[in-house]
Amino acid sequence: FLGRNRFAVLDRHKREIVVKNLNNETTKRVSAPVPNVDCLYDGGASGRIILRADDRAVLFEVQSRRVIGELTAPKIKNVVWSPDGSKVALLCKYGVVIANRQLEQLCSISDTVRIKSGAWDVSPTGGTNSNLFVYTTLHHVKYCLPTGDTGTIRTLDNPIYVTRVVKDSLFCLDREARSRVISIDTTEARFKLALANKKYGQVMHMVKHSRLCGRAIVAYLQSKGFPEVALHFVRDPQTRFRLALACGNIEAAMESAFSLEQQQGADGKSRDVWGELGSEALRQGNHQVVEMSYQRKKDFDRLSFLYMLTGDNEKLRKMLKISNMRNDIMGRYHNALLLGDAAERVAVLEASGNLPLAYISANLHGLDEVAERIKVAIETQEGSVEGLMEKVPVGTKKGGRLLQPPTPIVRASNWPTLEIKKTTLEDLSAADAGDEYEEEAPPAAATDTGATAGAAAWDDDFGMEDAGAGIGGDDDFDLGDDDMGWGDDLDGLGDIGGDDIAPDQ
Question: pLDDT confidence of 465, banded at 50, 70, 90?
Answer: very low
Strands 87-92 and 6-11, how do they pair? Answer: unpaired
Average pLDDT over residues 6-32: 90
> Residue 18's pLDDT is what?
92
State what percent of residues in the chain have pLDDT above 70: 71
CB contact at 8 A, 136 and 118 = yes
- Given a cut of 60, is residue 469 above it in pLDDT? no
Count CB atoms within 10 A of the CB of residue 288.
24
**117-121, 126-130, 493-497 — which one is most confidently predicted on average?**
117-121
Of all residues in the chain, what percent carry a pLDDT higher than 90?
Answer: 23
- CA separation, residue 25 to residues 19, 181, 405, 489 (Å): 8, 41, 100, 101
Q: Torsions phi, psi of 341, nearest 5?
A: -95, 95
How many Cβ atoms are within 10 Å of 157's Cβ, its own excluded? 6
Q: How confident is the model at residue 7 (pLDDT cuts 50, 70, 90)?
A: very high
Give residue 338's pLDDT band: very low, low, confident or very high (50, 70, 90).
confident
* Res. 441: pLDDT tops 60: no
User: 46-50, 206-210, 482-486: lowest mean pLDDT where?
Assistant: 482-486
What does the pLDDT read at residue 8?
93
Q: Is the pTM of this model over 0.75?
A: no
309 or 267, higher pLDDT: 309
Question: Concatenated DSSP letters for 184-247?
Answer: ---HHHHHHHHHHTT-HHHHHHHHHHS---SHHHHHHHHHTT-HHHHTTT---HHHHHHHHHHT
Q: How confident is the model at residue 317 (pLDDT cuts 50, 70, 90)?
A: confident
pLDDT tens-digit series, residues 286-315: 777 888 888 888 888 888 888 888 877 888
Side chain identity, residue 54: D
pLDDT band (50, 70, 90) for residue 395: low
pLDDT given at position 419: 66
Contact of 189 with 183, CB cutoff 8 Å: no
Q: What is the pLDDT of residues 343-365, one digit of tens each?
A: 888 888 878 877 778 887 887 77
pLDDT bucket at 237, cuts 50 / 70 / 90: confident
